[in-house]
């Protein structure tokens, strides 16, 4: 069972595919032309591990990936 919430959008880190690789930036992902197309919930030891998974995912699928921590106590 999954229950919990995400922290505020200002805690997000976004991974975007670029011609020369991957760009990682702070802040929420959405722009006017973008929308949420699904989500993945992963367990990672730290932000670096989560962003590495995001890098691999955006290279495989091309849309940006927004990494955001869960609220404490969420499962």
Read off the pLDDT of residues 2-27 as tens digits, 9 standing for 90 and up: 677 888 888 999 999 998 889 999 98
Looking only at Cα atoms, what is the longest distance across the chain?
A: 39
Q: What is the pLDDT of residues 42-67, one digit of tens each?
A: 889 999 999 999 999 999 988 888 88
Which residues form the domain of 52?
9-67
Let me know: does 26 contact 15? Beta carbons within 8 Å: no
Whether 72 maps to a domain, the answer reads no
Whether 74 maps to a domain, the answer reads no
Is 28's pLDDT higher than 90? Answer: no
Whether 35 maps to a domain, the answer reads yes
Per-residue pLDDT at 39: 79
Q: What is the C-alpha separation between 5 and 67, in angstroms, rounded? A: 13
In the chain, the number of structural domains is: 1
β-pair partners for 23? 16
Whether 3 maps to a domain, the answer reads no
Say which residue, 69 or 33, is predicted with more confidence: 69
């Amino acid at each position: 069972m999954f229950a919990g919430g995400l922290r505020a959008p200002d805690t997000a880190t976004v991974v975007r595919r670029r011609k020369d690789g991957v760009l990682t930036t702070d802040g929420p992902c959405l722009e006017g032309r973008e929308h949420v197309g699904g989500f993945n919930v992963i367990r990672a030891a730290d932000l670096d591990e989560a962003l590495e998974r995001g890098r691999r995912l955006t290279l495989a699928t091309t849309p940006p990936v927004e990494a955001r921590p869960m609220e404490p106590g969420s499962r």
